[in-house]
Each structure stands twice: as structure tokens, then as C-alpha cells.
Amino acid sequence: MDTNVNNLVNKIKNLSLEEISKNLIFVALFALIYRLGNFYNTFIPKPFEIIVLLIVLLVIVDIFKNNKIKELFFSIPRDIRIAFICLVFSVLLGWGVSILKGIPYTFNALLEFGVFIFSLSIFLLILIYTRNDKNYVKIYFYALLMPAVYGIFVFFPKAVYYLSLGNDGTFLGFTMSPNIISKILLIPAFFFIAYSLFKSENKWFRAGYITASFLIVSLLFWAASRGGLVSLLFASIFVWLVFSLHNFNWKKLFYSGLLIFVILAVGFALTPDTGKQRVILRALYPSGSDHSSYLPIQDKSAGEVILKFINDKVGNPALVYFSRETRFQIWPFYLRQVLINPLGIGPNTHFSFNLRDYSGEYINSGPHNTFLQIWLWGGLLGIFSFLFIFVSAFKNLFIKLNSDFNPFTLALLGTIFAVSISIMFDDSLGFFWFFIILALALRYENTTS
């Protein structure tokens, strides 16, 4: 026993700085499950940010101690390296332009920029530390599946509120936002959905994948985030088509489509009643679309919500008042801003403009679309650089999928598609998971072929 302990201690002592950093990245990704607290109010960083900062410091020490700057710099593919530099430069240039224009910036803008830097940091770290060992792409992706453990709460919904993992009838996990938890859950959801589509030598494995899919989809419904559910729907169709069109036959098309439909249907059926009520409420009465009708039924059962909706629509067939949808006012407004600021204005998307909703109340919001957000931050150079990296990730996965059609590649492709849809409804340059998946997609290589 003592010999084993001593061997373990010696092995740890002999780890290089690079090996320590590679393993710390896994720990950091694992720690992403905990996102409670608000740095703006407490100034207390979360575990992920602390670990990433430590890794960055280790990288700096490794660079100067072992003269690795060229090795690490050139380990990133040339085209991605150029696009990344252009992206960072565009945001800094936009910030300089905003100063010249006299656009005021706030402490919140500085925090947004800081979170963006953390996103870029983990993106670079993964690109660097998967250069010599592509197996780490899978290892890091598996770390992002940790939220799958939340699935147990589908069977014990009361425990969610006892443990403060939910609020107002929705599931939040160790986050403070249904938007965040829904994006996080999309990752394990499409991992298990993709694996459910493939036949397995061990039928119990496949049964486990399908069961896990049921539970995580149920959590997504329970979170009741419209962006998350739209992403789930469109990404499910995407995965179904990609899977079906490979060696296409009608039986495969029907069977895979039926399986995905069953996963979604059973997931909804397993959703606790409070979650079902919130999903139906948010679907039939979107925020701001019909506020006077929304208030009296916000705490009613799902059946009562549906009945009220039917009665409201008798003689008034309009399902949604588009002019009252906040995003339909935010998006055109910020689209005008990006057109009149071709060089961008840096991270000044909050508190910088007097934007009001249909009732005249001030809208304290950014573009609610990550592509608009980066376009406004870095102008044309920023959005084109970002899109180049984004498209390159998809291109790499499609190439790998064509050479070896396997469940992991499809899972990674489905995940990046789902997360990409979800960031169209939020300002997500600080959504670390997206940049992590983006880096994994760029680095992924088949190891089974």
C-alpha cells in the first residue's frame, strides 16, 4: 500500500508543467457545473475562472522556463491563428473607436470584456493542449457531460426545491438562469441522442443512452427556456437528417425520426407538472406578447393555461403580437447600430443606448444574439473572423463524419449545432461552453478509422 502511494506521489512530482496544465483543464471543465454567485455583486470568482487563471499562469511560466513560445504559437492551425488575432484586434479597435466617439462605458462593460477574455483563454488552451494527444478532445468533451447527473431529479422533483436547484417552477441546477442551464444541458442531451441512434453490440448500453436522453430532455423542458427548447427542436431535426442521409434508406429515415420523436415525447411526459405548466405558459404567452392575459394565469395549471389561451383566441386569431416581442425590437435596433459602426464599438452593448419597449419602458439589454454582439464589438473584421472560425469547426466535423460515420462525431456535430442555435437568442460571448465545443470541433480527429 505504501509503495503504491509513494509511486503515485513520485509520478505527480515528475509531471511537467504541460501535463499539469492539461489535467487542470479537465478539472476546470468539470468545475463548470457550479455557476452560482454573481461576480458583479460579490467580486468572488467561480471555481472555473480561478482554475483557468492558474493554468494561464502555468503556461506563462512554461513559456519562459522552457522557451516554448514558438512551439505553442505555431501549434494552432495557421488560418485559425490569423482569424483569432483579427478577432481580438477588431474588438480592441472597436473599443478605441467608441472612445473617440465619446460612447460611455461602464463597469459592466469591463466585466463583459473580462468574461470574453476567459472564453478566448479556454479556447486557446484547448487548442494548444490537444495538439499532441487528440484523445484529450474526447476526455474534455466527457467532462462537459457532468450535468447529466441532474437527471436523477426528474424522479425526485421536490428535492430540487429543497436543495435550491430550482425556482418559480423551473429547474436551474447550480446556475441562476434557465437560459444558462438549458444551454449546458444541450451538450449531454445530444451526446446521448446521437449514441441512441447507433446500434450497439451491448443492447443495454443503447438502452442506457436512450434512458439518459429521456431524462436530460425532461430537464430541458423543466428549465422552460424558449431558446433552449427551440435549439433542442432544430438540432434534433438536424441530427435526424444527418444520420438518415448517410447510406439513406426509407426505413432508416422513419426509424431514426420515430426514435427522436419518442425521446422528445417521453422527455416531456416525464417533466414534473410545474415544468409542463411553465413550458406551455411560455409557449402560448411569450414574455411581453400579451401581458394582461399572462398575469392572471401565471400560477395556473397547464390545462387551465391551454383553456384560457383557446378562449382568448376566439375571434382573435393572432397567436403572437410580434410588435410586442422584446427581441423583435432589440434585433432591428442593434442591426442599425452595426451598420452605422462598421469598425465596431467594443464591449459597449449594455447601458449605452436609450432603447425602449412597446410600453415605453427602458430595455436594459444587449443584442440578445451573439453574432450581432460580436459584430457590434468588432465590426466587419470581427464578425468575419468569428464566422471563419465558426464555419471551420463545422467543416472539420463534416469531413471527419464523411470519412468515419461514428456516434462521437455526430454527437459533437449535434452539440455544436444546438449550442449555435441557442446563442442566437442571447449575448453569449461569455458562454464558455460554446468556445470549448468550438475548440474541440476544430481539433477533433477520428481515432477509430
Which three cell numbers, joined as nine digits, stand for 437? Answer: 465545443
**How sure is the predictor about 311, in pLDDT bands with cuts at 50, 70 and 90?**
low
Residues paired with residue 166 on neighbouring β-strands, in sequence order: 171
Q: So what's the pLDDT on residue 121?
A: 96
| Dist CA 302 CA 324 (whole Å) | 24
pLDDT digits (tens, 9 = 90+) for 74-94: 999 999 999 999 999 999 999
With beta carbons less than 8 A apart as the criterion, state whether 215 and 151 touch: yes
pLDDT digits (tens, 9 = 90+) for 133-190: 888 999 999 999 999 999 999 999 999 989 999 987 899 999 988 999 999 999 999 9
Range in 114-118, 216-220, 278-282 the model is least confident about = 278-282
Which 3 state secondary structure label does DSSP give 166? strand
**182, 186, 197 from 147: Cα distances, Å:** 11, 10, 21
Residues paired with residue 170 on neighbouring β-strands, in sequence order: 167
- Report the pLDDT averaged over residues 311-322: 55
CA-based end-to-end distance of the chain: 40
Residue 123 is inside which H or E element, if any? helix 107-129
Long-range (24+ apart) CB contacts under 8 A made by 75-79 are 75/127, 75/128, 75/131, 76/124, 76/127, 76/128, 77/442, 79/388, 79/392
Residues paired with residue 362 on neighbouring β-strands, in sequence order: 356
**How sure is the predictor about 261, in pLDDT bands with cuts at 50, 70 and 90?**
very high
- Classify the phi-psi angles of 321: left when phi > 0, otherwise alpha if psi is within -120 to 50, otherwise beta: beta
The pair phi, psi for residue 170, each rounded to 5°, is -115, 155
Q: What angle do CA 446, 56, 416 make, to 5 degrees?
A: 35
Q: So what's the pLDDT on residue 165?
A: 93
Q: So what's the pLDDT on residue 393?
A: 97
pLDDT surpasses 70 at 2 = no
Q: So what's the pLDDT on residue 277?
A: 86
pLDDT surpasses 60 at 223 = yes
Q: So what's the pLDDT on residue 448?
A: 46
**How sure is the predictor about 303, in pLDDT bands with cuts at 50, 70 and 90?**
low
pLDDT, greater one: 417 or 6 = 417
Percent of the chain with pLDDT over 70: 82
| Dist CA 72 CA 65 (whole Å) | 13
pLDDT digits (tens, 9 = 90+) for 382-402: 999 999 999 999 999 999 999
Q: Which residue ranges make up each domain of the chain?
A: 20-143+327-449, 174-324
**How sure is the predictor about 292, in pLDDT bands with cuts at 50, 70 and 90?**
very low
Tell me 37's DSSP state: S
pLDDT digits (tens, 9 = 90+) for 279-289: 887 777 665 44
Which 3 state secondary structure label does DSSP give 362? strand
**How sure is the predictor about 17, in pLDDT bands with cuts at 50, 70 and 90?**
confident
Computed over every residue of the chain, the mean pLDDT equals 86
